[in-house]
Amino acid sequence: MKLTEMQKLEAMALRFYQGLEWKPKAGHLYTTSRADLEVYEVVKVEGGVVFTRYTEGETDTVSEWPESDFLSKGFGPMRVWIPPFVLPN
Protein backbone atom coordinates (compact mmCIF):
# COMPACT_ATOMS: atom_id res chain seq x y z
CA MET A 1 0.00 0.00 0.00
CA LYS A 2 1.20 3.48 -0.83
CA LEU A 3 -0.34 6.82 -0.01
CA THR A 4 -1.21 9.46 -2.56
CA GLU A 5 0.61 12.74 -2.14
CA MET A 6 -2.62 14.35 -0.88
CA GLN A 7 -3.19 11.61 1.72
CA LYS A 8 0.37 12.06 2.98
CA LEU A 9 -0.09 15.81 3.14
CA GLU A 10 -3.37 15.45 5.05
CA ALA A 11 -1.84 13.03 7.58
CA MET A 12 1.15 15.34 8.07
CA ALA A 13 -1.12 18.37 8.56
CA LEU A 14 -3.23 16.50 11.11
CA ARG A 15 -0.10 15.57 13.06
CA PHE A 16 2.05 18.68 12.84
CA TYR A 17 -0.45 21.53 12.27
CA GLN A 18 -3.60 20.38 14.05
CA GLY A 19 -1.75 18.48 16.79
CA LEU A 20 -3.68 15.21 16.44
CA GLU A 21 -2.50 12.78 19.11
CA TRP A 22 -2.15 9.06 18.51
CA LYS A 23 -2.18 6.01 20.77
CA PRO A 24 -1.02 3.10 18.56
CA LYS A 25 -3.37 0.11 18.37
CA ALA A 26 -3.47 -3.06 16.26
CA GLY A 27 -4.59 -2.27 12.72
CA HIS A 28 -3.52 1.36 12.77
CA LEU A 29 -1.58 2.58 9.77
CA TYR A 30 1.20 5.12 9.89
CA THR A 31 3.75 6.80 7.67
CA THR A 32 6.86 8.83 8.38
CA SER A 33 7.74 12.47 7.91
CA ARG A 34 10.19 11.51 5.14
CA ALA A 35 9.56 12.52 1.53
CA ASP A 36 8.01 9.17 0.53
CA LEU A 37 4.57 7.57 0.37
CA GLU A 38 5.29 4.41 2.38
CA VAL A 39 2.81 2.93 4.85
CA TYR A 40 3.41 0.76 7.90
CA GLU A 41 0.89 -1.16 10.01
CA VAL A 42 0.75 -1.73 13.74
CA VAL A 43 0.29 -5.51 13.97
CA LYS A 44 -0.23 -5.59 17.73
CA VAL A 45 0.69 -3.87 20.96
CA GLU A 46 1.48 -6.42 23.64
CA GLY A 47 3.66 -6.71 26.71
CA GLY A 48 5.09 -3.21 26.34
CA VAL A 49 6.11 -3.84 22.72
CA VAL A 50 4.69 -2.38 19.48
CA PHE A 51 4.90 -4.83 16.56
CA THR A 52 4.87 -3.28 13.08
CA ARG A 53 5.21 -4.33 9.47
CA TYR A 54 5.85 -2.62 6.15
CA THR A 55 2.74 -2.84 3.94
CA GLU A 56 4.42 -2.87 0.54
CA GLY A 57 5.43 -6.09 -1.17
CA GLU A 58 5.49 -9.69 -0.06
CA THR A 59 7.10 -9.45 3.35
CA ASP A 60 6.05 -11.03 6.63
CA THR A 61 8.85 -9.34 8.56
CA VAL A 62 7.61 -7.85 11.81
CA SER A 63 9.66 -5.24 13.66
CA GLU A 64 9.48 -4.72 17.41
CA TRP A 65 9.71 -1.39 19.23
CA PRO A 66 9.47 -0.61 22.94
CA GLU A 67 6.01 0.89 23.48
CA SER A 68 7.43 3.58 25.77
CA ASP A 69 9.77 4.81 22.98
CA PHE A 70 7.58 4.20 19.92
CA LEU A 71 6.43 7.83 19.59
CA SER A 72 8.91 9.65 21.77
CA LYS A 73 12.54 8.58 21.30
CA GLY A 74 14.87 8.25 18.35
CA PHE A 75 12.79 7.89 15.20
CA GLY A 76 9.51 7.85 17.19
CA PRO A 77 8.51 11.52 16.84
CA MET A 78 8.76 11.16 13.05
CA ARG A 79 5.92 8.59 12.91
CA VAL A 80 2.64 9.97 11.56
CA TRP A 81 -0.69 8.20 12.12
CA ILE A 82 -2.96 7.85 9.10
CA PRO A 83 -6.49 8.10 10.52
CA PRO A 84 -9.04 5.96 8.61
CA PHE A 85 -10.88 9.02 7.23
CA VAL A 86 -7.75 9.99 5.28
CA LEU A 87 -7.96 6.80 3.18
CA PRO A 88 -10.72 6.05 0.65
CA ASN A 89 -13.32 3.43 1.58
pLDDT at 89: 63
Q: Are strands 29-32 and 49-54 parallel, antiparallel or unpaired?
A: unpaired
Over its length of 89 residues, how does the chain's per-residue pLDDT go in tens digits?
A: 899 999 999 999 999 999 999 999 999 999 999 999 999 999 999 999 999 999 987 778 999 999 999 999 988 899 999 999 999 76
pLDDT at 60: 81
How many Cα atoms within 13 Å fall on the side-chain side of residue 16? 12
Question: Within its chain, how far is the Cα of 30 from the centroid?
Answer: 2
